[in-house]
Amino acid sequence: MNINIQLHFRMRGALSLCTLLRCMPVVVAFVLIAVVKAAAGQASDADLVTVQLHTLTPHVAAYAQVGPISVLPVNAAEAGVIAGLKVLPGAHVRAGQELAHLNGPSIKALLMQSEADVRSAQTQLSTSQKSLAIQRELLLSHLSTREAVHQVEGSVAQAQTAFDNAQARLTAVRQMEIVSAPTDAIVLALNSADGELVNAGQPIVILQSSRSLWVKAAFYGVDMAAIHVRMTGRFSPADGSEATAVRVCAVFGTMTAGGGESIAMVPLHPGAHWLSGEAGTVTLDAPQRKLVAVPTRALILDQGKWWVMVHTAQGDRPQAVVPGPAEGWDTLIERGLAVGTQVVVNNAYLLYHSSISEHYQIPG
């Protein structure tokens, strides 16, 4: 008897479990419909956010590299032979620093001719000055005229000019003998060596001025239209050193091989410690914009479009929007919302899909 009773209760328990399992989809469906219907009502004030304007400073960024604006070749002023060239590539030189000497028959002949011209001009000037002194003494003795004195004074002035010119030419020739740095710079390359014969105008040393570096970058797509001269930003070296404020100085208006547009930037303040070839990232500040912002959790994605639930006096309705960049927990809206609009934040997704209860059929 006891065995039959235990068997009876065990069979009833098994039947109850099977009945519950068969009814589970129906239970879940009723729970889902209950939740959706609860969300289908009007949102409370605690679920709403009033849309406000936010100020946005868009940024455009690109890979950038430091390079020379131009290089400075130091050329031979006259044909000659290089001597005393001691600088090496990478050396820092000062303005006026002697880099090498220029010797040889050509420069020596030019120097000798200039020295002879100076001596000749000096003799002519001395003779003219003596003639002027004599004419002035004769004028005091009434043995000469003022016209004769004026003529000799003119000759003295001409002789003085010729002497000054001859001295200037001699100084120029002597300067030709010395190859010097025209500005503070770094030696990039040597195009000649000691003992080499060079022609007039041939580069001897290639320099890079310490003030002739800029940053070049290529921007692509919509970023190209946003960039203009005098735009400011920051250049952050890849080695993690301190960023430098920069200003756009040139928009070349030509496409690179990769389809971008080349932009050049210089330091906004003097004293930037850049090295040619240094790489990093440049970030430019675009003009400020004012956009409305909503909490990101208020956005709903449905069939490839973004929506928010807008609260109105007639009820809550979906409104299509175009999201912009995110700032913290908010997302800026490019189009679709006006300032002062009330947007549902809590349970916005359930509220948007509240009509699902009208289309859901409980399995029979």
How many DSSP H helices and E strands does the chain contain? Answer: 6, 22
* CATH 1.10.1660.10 matches 61-69+211-285: no
Q: What is the mean pLDDT of residues 317-333?
A: 89
**Weakest-pLDDT range from 39-48, 74-83, 333-342:** 39-48
Is pLDDT larger for residue 336 or for residue 4? 336
Cα–chain center distance at 86? 37
Residue type (1 letter), 210: S
For the chain, give the percent of residues with pLDDT over 70: 84
pLDDT of residue 9: 37
Position 10 confidence tier, pLDDT thresholds 50, 70, 90: very low
pLDDT of residue 164: 93
| Structure letter (DSSP) for residue 46 | G
Residue identified by tokens 């002497």 is 163
Rounded distance between C-alpha atoms, residue 311 and residue 52, angstroms? 15
Tens-place pLDDT, residues 187-202? 999 998 888 999 988 9
Position 355 confidence tier, pLDDT thresholds 50, 70, 90: low
Backbone φ, ψ for residue 138 (5° rounding)? -65, -35
Please give the CATH number for the structural domain made up of 76-208: 2.40.50.100
Position 270 confidence tier, pLDDT thresholds 50, 70, 90: confident
pLDDT of residue 253: 84
pLDDT tops 70 at residue 358: no
Is pLDDT larger for residue 287 or for residue 88? 88
For the chain, give every domain's residue range.
39-56+288-364, 61-69+211-285, 76-208
72 in Cβ contact with 207 (< 8 Å) = yes
pLDDT of residue 351: 87
Length of the chain: 364
Give the tokens for residue 213. 């570096």
pLDDT of residue 229: 92
Q: What is the mean pLDDT of residues 228-255?
A: 92
pLDDT tops 90 at residue 273: no
Residue identified by tokens 């009509």 is 355
Mean pLDDT over all residues of the chain? 82
**Weakest-pLDDT range from 81-90, 130-139, 154-163:** 130-139
Tens-place pLDDT, residues 290-321? 889 999 999 999 988 999 999 988 888 999 99
Backbone φ, ψ for residue 203 (5° rounding)? -65, 135
Rounded distance between C-alpha atoms, residue 10 and residue 14, angstroms? 6
Query: 39-56+288-364 has which fold?
Result: 2.40.420
